[in-house]
Homo-oligomer: A and B are copies of this chain.
Amino acid sequence: MNENSNSVNIDQKQRGYHHGNLRAVLVSEGLNALQEKDADDISLRAVARRTGVSATSVYRHFPDKQAFVEALCAEGSRMLAAAQREAMLSSGGGQNGLDATGLAYVNFALANPTLFRLMSRAAPSETGLGGAKDPAMQELMSNVATLLPKDVSEERRRIRALHAWSVVHGITMLVLEGRLPRDIETIKGVIQTPVD
């Protein structure tokens, strides 16, 4: 039926009535709309309008607005995961790599504030993305685990992983919400604050 996928690649010439690739274009155009972060919330009609298609055509591809937003979030999750993987690889792993993935998290949020907020808000129970079962989360867990001494209990490893996630997510949200200045050095300092 439709193969829209990750990076959202669009070509496929426009032929009259049937658009041919509407779903993918809607998602892509939705992401664009989010970047011009004028309104914090997004309007299906606006997305349809800028795609040059009727308002209700969206409902041929998404049961409701919530579903559309979730599609945007899924796309965002892929982007974020890729950025973090890249950061981990290019920093050589270890504690250094962990800090790097944290920084990648913050940078993604600052570069895509509206999308990130959307991702944070959307109920993850449905998609599983962003929840504790998210692949990215699993990786964080295992990364933290390898950095701890062998005699540390499973429970404490879990706590430490959640602690790391909390620090990064917390500083991200505080800056994003404008409650802290967008000072990257301070952010690094917070992320790199040593534990234990």
- The majority secondary structure among interface residues of chain A is helix
Segment with Cβ contacts to B, from A44-52, A87-95, A116-124: A116-124
Contact with B along A16-42 (1 / 0, CB 8 A): 000000000000000000000000100
Check B169–A124 contact: CB distance below 8 A.
Answer: no
Segment with Cβ contacts to B, from A1-9, A57-65, A78-86, A187-195: A187-195
A139 to chain B, nearest CB (A): 15
Check B189–A159 contact: CB distance below 8 A.
Answer: yes
Interfacial residues of chain A within 158-187, with CB under 8 A of chain B in the complex? 158-160, 162-163, 165-174, 177-181, 186
Copies of this chain assembled into the complex:
2
Check A166–B171 contact: CB distance below 8 A.
Answer: yes
Check B159–A190 contact: CB distance below 8 A.
Answer: yes
Check A173–B178 contact: CB distance below 8 A.
Answer: no
Q: Which of A124, A132, A166, A196 has the most CB of B within 10 A?
A: A166
Check B193–A194 contact: CB distance below 8 A.
Answer: no
Q: Which of A163, A168, A170, A194 has the most CB of B within 10 A?
A: A170
A165 to chain B, nearest CB (A): 7
**30 A-B pairs in the complex with CB atoms less than 8 angstroms apart:** A40-B121, A120-B177, A123-B178, A124-B177, A124-B178, A124-B179, A130-B177, A131-B178, A132-B180, A159-B186, A159-B193, A160-B193, A162-B171, A162-B174, A163-B167, A163-B190, A163-B193, A165-B174, A166-B167, A166-B168, A166-B170, A166-B171, A167-B170, A168-B170, A169-B170, A169-B174, A170-B170, A173-B173, A193-B195, A194-B196
Residues of A within 8 A of B (CB): 40, 117, 120-121, 123-125, 130-132, 158-160, 162-163, 165-174, 177-181, 186, 189-190, 193-196
Question: Top 9 A-B pairs ranked by shortest CB distance?
Answer: A170-B170, A166-B170, A169-B170, A166-B171, A159-B189, A163-B193, A163-B190, A131-B179, A166-B167
